[in-house]
């Protein structure tokens, strides 16, 4: 016979008053088997006694308070939060300068001043401007260092400068994409060593005259010299019909009474010589002399004669990031009187 037993030990036949407690779950046990008490199943967590120290998950140590919010830092007064993004960087500019000099020089006479020349230089500063600003080219300034000797006069091209005398604010319009002349200068000086050395030697024997001319390019030149032209003037005391070119491919012009030699180029450190023969009308006296003036023309696309140093700087009111490239060139007219 099966007998139902409650967990609290009371009989099932006893009447129990109706309460709001959940009904216990009864487990029936067959006769002859070991008696197992019915257990009351509940879903609530058992209470943790204060004296119980077993807490492997740290439940008792958890803080139930929410974490504090990150404090908001106010920006300094009078400073915009978008100041970094709104900041305008200065434009980038590439300025290419070509400094060309037209040089006229006269060799000083006398052995004691050999190699010294009086020089007049008319220079032109050309500029090509490339600017990252799509609307306009930023103005720039031209600065020059002190000359070792001589006098300098520098003035801007008024087409690109508001000042007629100062090169402090030169602005090239955006439409001018090539080289434009932005400034000019004049130098008066005495130079001891020209880029080319011009020598002349005249030998007279009774009526026979031999004229030899040597041209030498300095070894310290940056590049080769080009477009050589040597003109030898024949004085009136010489019989024009007797002029003969001996060395070099020269041509004699009877109307101008001039012998002209030409040479395409001459490397630095090299030299060449030309010569001619002629006859005097009459023999020279003891105190007489005959002069053969010589004019030399040449050019260089890699060198300059003056010691002028031109620098490009930004204007105070128009900041810019500048990059400069410079090229020098000159044309020389040198005379031996």
| 275 has a pLDDT exceeding 50 | yes
Beta carbons of 102 and 300 less than 8 angstroms apart: no
Scanning the chain, the segments in alpha helix (DSSP H) are 83-86
pLDDT of residue 110: 66
pLDDT tens digits, 99-129:
999 999 999 876 545 678 999 999 999 999 9
**Structure tokens, 314:** 């930004």
In a domain, 264, yes or no: yes
Q: How many structural domains does the chain have?
A: 3
146 versus 50: the higher-pLDDT residue is 146
d(CA 122, CA 107): 18
pLDDT of residue 225: 94
In a domain, 163, yes or no: yes
213 plus 265 within the same structural domain: yes
Pair type for strands 225-233 and 294-300: antiparallel
* Burial per residue of 161-181, b for 16 or more beta-carbon CB atoms within 10 angstroms, e otherwise: beeeeebbbbbbeeeeeebbe
Q: In what order do the strands lie in the sheet with 92-107?
A: 151-156, 180-191, 117-131, 92-107, 321-336, 294-300, 225-233, 258-266, 250-253
Domain holding 227: CATH number?
2.60.40.1170
pLDDT of residue 51: 59
Measured CA to CA in angstroms, residue 181 lies from 96, 254, 309 at distances of 12, 41, 17
| 89 has a pLDDT exceeding 90 | no
311 plus 296 within the same structural domain: no
Confidence of residue 41 (pLDDT cuts 50, 70, 90): very low
248 plus 326 within the same structural domain: no
319 plus 173 within the same structural domain: yes
160 plus 294 within the same structural domain: no
**Structure tokens, 318:** 């128009």
In a domain, 227, yes or no: yes
Q: How far is CA 291 from the centre of its chain?
A: 51
pTM (2 d.p.): 0.69
Confidence of residue 23 (pLDDT cuts 50, 70, 90): low
Q: What percent of the chain has pLDDT over 90?
A: 58
Domain holding 152: CATH number?
2.60.40
**Structure tokens, 328:** 């020098």
200 plus 283 within the same structural domain: yes
In a domain, 27, yes or no: yes
d(CA 27, CA 267): 121
For the ranges 79-88, 177-186, 257-266, which has the lowest average pLDDT? 79-88
Cβ atoms < 10 Å from Cβ of 233: 15
Beta carbons of 209 and 266 less than 8 angstroms apart: no
φ, ψ at 85 (rounded to 5°): -75, -25
**What average pLDDT does the structure give for the chain?**
82
187 plus 278 within the same structural domain: no
Beta carbons of 282 and 291 less than 8 angstroms apart: no
18 versus 264: the higher-pLDDT residue is 264
- Give me the domain span that covers residue 159: 92-101+112-192+305-331
pLDDT of residue 9: 47
pLDDT tens digits, 147-166:
888 899 999 999 999 888 89
Pair type for strands 271-280 and 208-217: antiparallel
């Amino acid at each position: 016979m099966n007998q139902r037993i409650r967990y609290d030990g009371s009989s099932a036949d006893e009447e129990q008053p109706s309460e709001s407690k959940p009904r216990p779950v009864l487990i029936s046990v067959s006769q002859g088997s070991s008696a197992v008490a019915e257990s009351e199943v509940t879903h609530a967590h058992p209470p943790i006694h204060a004296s119980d120290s077993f807490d492997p998950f740290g439940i008792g140590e958890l803080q139930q308070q929410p974490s504090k919010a990150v404090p908001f830092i106010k920006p300094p007064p009078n400073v915009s939060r978008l100041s970094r993004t709104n900041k305008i960087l200065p434009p980038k500019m590439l300025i290419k300068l070509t400094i060309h000099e037209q040089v006229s020089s006269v060799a000083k006479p006398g052995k004691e001043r050999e190699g010294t020349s009086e020089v007049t230089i008319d220079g032109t500063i050309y500029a090509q401007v490339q600017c990252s600003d799509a609307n306009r080219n930023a103005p720039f300034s031209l600065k020059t260092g002190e000359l070792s000797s001589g006098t300098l006069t520098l003035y801007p091209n008024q087409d690109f400068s508001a000042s007629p005398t100062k090169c402090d604010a030169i602005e090239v319009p955006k439409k001018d994409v090539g080289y434009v002349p932005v400034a000019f200068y004049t130098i008066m000086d005495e130079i001891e060593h020209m880029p080319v050395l011009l020598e002349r030697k005249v030998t007279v024997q009774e009526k026979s005259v031999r004229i030899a001319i040597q041209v030498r390019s300095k070894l310290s030149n940056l590049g080769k010299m080009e477009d050589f032209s040597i003109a030898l003037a024949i004085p009136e005391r010489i019989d024009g019909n007797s002029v003969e070119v001996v060395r070099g491919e020269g041509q004699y012009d009877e109307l101008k009474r001039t012998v002209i030699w030409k040479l395409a180029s001459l490397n630095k450190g090299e030299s060449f010589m030309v010569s001619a023969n002629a006859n005097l009308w009459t023999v020279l006296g003891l105190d007489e002399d005959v002069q053969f003036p010589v004019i030399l023309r040449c050019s260089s696309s890699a060198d300059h004669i003056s010691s002028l140093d031109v620098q490009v700087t930004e204007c105070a009111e128009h900041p810019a990031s500048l990059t400069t490239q410079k090229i020098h060139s000159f044309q020389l007219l040198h005379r031996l009187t």
